[in-house]
A and B are shown apart, each in its own frame.
Chain A
Amino acid sequence: MAKETTASAVANAISIDEAMLVEQAKTGDMGAFGRLVSKYQDRVLNVCWRMAGNMDDAQDLAQEAFLHALESIQSFQHKAGFYTWLYRIAVNLSITHRRKSARQVKLSLHGRDGQWGDDCQEVKPVGRVSNEKTDPAAKLSARETERLVMEGLEQLDEEQRAIIVLKDVESLDYQQIAEILEVPVGTVKSRLHRARMALRERLKPIVSLEE
């Protein structure tokens, strides 16, 4: 109980501190805005990275998200947390970016016949290929797994991708995600399940290897 009280007091102090920074930023205090940037820059960058699929675009999007926040900060009313508002900006920019980049060639985990495709074989680690017959349970390298997961995410639609990023990359709870995406918690619940089922389908080959 005492622990909860302490944690609550710390959370309140952080919230008050953040609210003050926001108010200072509204007056043109770039130092205050800089502290908000420092606090959230990694998280915003990672959201943009996993949404955009590449770091170059992610850096631009993160920069754009903070710029947008700075330009719009006068309209921020503290109805939601600053991070919620900031995440919303970043996610919306990323979704818009993805839609604009529709002509971008999407890599596929699957070949024309829907099976494990040639493009994936090309990136199999040499060690794994050579050991595959003797060690079928050989694990993919972490980097390879990450690349394949990113490709799996690429194939989801923007809304599904956003919800997985917010939940499984950023570890936000359903209520926070609902506020960011401006949808009911029930929608978060059903959409997240559908998104995970879709990703599971795309990652099935490596899911079975990992198990």
Chain B
Amino acid sequence: MNPKRRQELQEQLSAYLDGELAPEERQEVEAFLAEDAQGRALLDELQATVNMVQSMSRAKASADLMEDIRAKMERRALLDEVEPTESSMPRSYRFSGRLMAAAAVIVFSFVAAYIMRSITDRDTQPDSMRDQYVLQDEEGDKVRETRDVDELAKEVEILAEQDQPTAGVPPMKARGMPTEMRTELKMEKGGEYYISNDVTNSDVQLKRMPSAAPPPGRHKAGGKIEGEPAIDREAGFKPVDELKTKGEAVKESRQEPEAIKKDVAKVPLPKRRSDLSAAVGRQLKEAAAEIESLGVDLTKFSPADLDAISLTITSKPAYAGSRYGTTITGDKSIPPSRSPGQLYNYQHTVFFGGLKTSTQPTSAPATASSPTIPLNAPGKQPNN
């Protein structure tokens, strides 16, 4: 047999082992093997090689693989690592990530706005600030949507239908999204405030915002500002209706949808979670500034009250099995002992994909003179 033909037949040996030769080719190879010892040795070595590869162990994928995929998809949608397009991604995914981010902003906006309102409007029964919200697109200031809460609820219901836990698919683990995001705003005695963000189980970097000293002349609430003389808090007092402050502007704006838009819709829809965090920080800072601007008004509190205004926002997956949902819980409190006239403990929970958008007071009135003011006051209708 000439060397070239021999070489050709040797090159058929792998296909011969795999049973991938046509019958006539197989016969030719078998005839070659019958008379060629080197050919048979090579066949044995190839067979041994194949056997070793085939005998390698096999791995079993994690039961969480699908959940990991979902979490990664959510994170990408949120972080815009992948720019979703109409043609490349299921609608539910495209929508939910952005809506979730928007929801977070909305809730934070409500909470921040509520602080302002609760400070400025505590002598009247407050209207719901949640009766309208405005989203802005991430490109700039253009208002994208303006809907009321009922419309939002319908949208949530639609999402929820798509968000039912699927049989056989294990519940979502909060991978890729924070298991807990806690944003805290505190007003301290003397008017200083600080905002801090803590995120658990997330690769998102959130920066602690530095303490900011109040501007000179602000917070004449009896708290001593270093370098300034102690202030007689009664001397700074003015009736609410005489105030010409940003706080009052907010109060007025609640009467007009356009004004609400101006005040509530300052946070653009973030493109990235870090932007969301920064936006939340900015929003809270604005809220703090508003509070600061009401320094005169704050004289109605005992100076001791100022170390007790706190806001805590916690974000968690809405429920086990939720793909998109997040529960955002806000808690703002002024301990009864520090604020005999006011008690604003409440919890604001948004179940995204969980059919529920609600705000509930969580504390009963401490005394007859310190009523709990529910956000959804019976009989109160949206002003628009």
Q: Are B72 and A174 in contact (CB under 8 A)?
A: no
Report the Cα distance A5→B36, complex, angstroms. Answer: 42
Q: Are B90 and A28 in contact (CB under 8 A)?
A: yes
Task: Say which size band chain B's interface belongs to.
Answer: 35 or more
Report the Cα distance A50→B82, complex, angstroms. Answer: 28
Residues of A within 8 A of B4 (CB): none
Shortest distance between the CB of A68 and any CB in chain B (Å):
10
Residues of A within 8 A of B237 (CB): none
Main secondary structure of the interface of A (DSSP, over half): helix
Q: A37-B69, A66-B69, A74-B87 are in contact. Are A28 and B92 (CB under 8 A)?
A: yes
Residues of B within 8 A of A169 (CB): 53-54, 56
Q: Does A58 contact B (CB under 8 A)?
A: yes
Q: Are B323 and A30 in contact (CB under 8 A)?
A: yes
Which listed residue, B57, B65, B93, touches A63 by the CB 8 Å rule?
B65
Q: Are B49 and A30 in contact (CB under 8 A)?
A: no
Residues of B within 8 A of A35 (CB): 168
Residue of A nearest to B164 (CB): A31
Q: Does A207 contact B (CB under 8 A)?
A: yes
Residue of A nearest to B90 (CB): A28
Which of B13-21, B140-148, B179-187, B327-335 lies at the interface with chain A?
B13-21
Residues of A within 8 A of B65 (CB): 37, 41, 45, 62-63, 66
Q: Are B15 and A145 in contact (CB under 8 A)?
A: no
Report the Cα distance A193→B9, complex, angstroms. Answer: 12
Those of A39-84 within 8 Å (CB) of chain B:
41-42, 44-46, 49-50, 55, 58-59, 62-63, 66-67, 70-72, 74-75
Q: A37-B69, A42-B58, A70-B69 are in contact. Are A168 and B14 (CB under 8 A)?
A: no
Q: A67-B73, A189-B15 are in contact. Are A38 and B66 (CB under 8 A)?
A: yes
Report the Cα distance A62→B20, complex, angstroms. Answer: 30
Shortest distance between the CB of B67 and any CB in chain A (Å):
9
Shortest distance between the CB of A152 and any CB in chain B (Å):
9
Q: Does B91 contact A (CB under 8 A)?
A: yes
Which of B40-48, B108-116, B304-312 lies at the interface with chain A?
B40-48
Q: Does A199 contact B (CB under 8 A)?
A: yes
Those of B57-77 within 8 Å (CB) of chain A:
57-62, 65-66, 68-70, 72-73, 76
Q: Are A210 and B59 in contact (CB under 8 A)?
A: no
Report the Cα distance A75→B56, complex, angstroms. Answer: 35
Q: Does B320 contact A (CB under 8 A)?
A: no
Report the Cα distance A30→B166, complex, angstroms. Answer: 8
Shortest distance between the CB of A22 and any CB in chain B (Å):
13
Q: A38-B66, A192-B14, A199-B53 are in contact. Are A55 and B93 (CB under 8 A)?
A: no
Mark contacts of B68-110 with chain A using CB atoms, 8 A cut-off: 1 yes-contact digit, 0 otherwise: 1110110010000010000111111100000000000000000
Which listed residue, B13, B88, B169, touches A34 by the CB 8 Å rule?
B169
Q: How many residues of A contact B (CB 8 A)?
A: 57
Report the Cα distance A145→B169, complex, angstroms. Answer: 37
Q: Does A190 contact B (CB under 8 A)?
A: yes
Q: Are A63 and B59 in contact (CB under 8 A)?
A: no
Q: Are B88 and A200 in contact (CB under 8 A)?
A: no
Report the Cα distance A192→B20, complex, angstroms. Answer: 12
Q: Does B162 contact A (CB under 8 A)?
A: yes
Q: Are B46 and A200 in contact (CB under 8 A)?
A: yes
Which listed residue, B52, B89, B93, touches A210 by the CB 8 Å rule?
B52
> Which 8 A-B pairs give the minimum distances between C-beta atoms?
A28-B90, A41-B61, A31-B166, A193-B14, A168-B53, A28-B92, A45-B61, A200-B49
Q: Which residues from chain B sit less than 8 Å from chain A, CB to CB?
A: 11-15, 18, 20, 44-46, 48-62, 65-66, 68-70, 72-73, 76, 82, 87-93, 162, 166-169, 323
Q: List 17 additional contacts besides A30-B90, A45-B60, A50-B56; criterion CB under 8 Å.
A: A26-B90, A28-B93, A34-B66, A38-B168, A42-B60, A44-B61, A45-B61, A72-B88, A146-B55, A168-B54, A169-B54, A169-B56, A173-B18, A173-B20, A174-B15, A196-B46, A204-B45
21 A-B residue pairs with Cβ-Cβ distance under 8 Å, sorted by A, are A35-B168, A37-B66, A41-B61, A44-B61, A45-B59, A45-B61, A49-B59, A66-B69, A67-B69, A67-B72, A67-B76, A70-B69, A71-B88, A71-B89, A142-B55, A153-B53, A167-B18, A168-B53, A189-B14, A193-B14, A200-B45
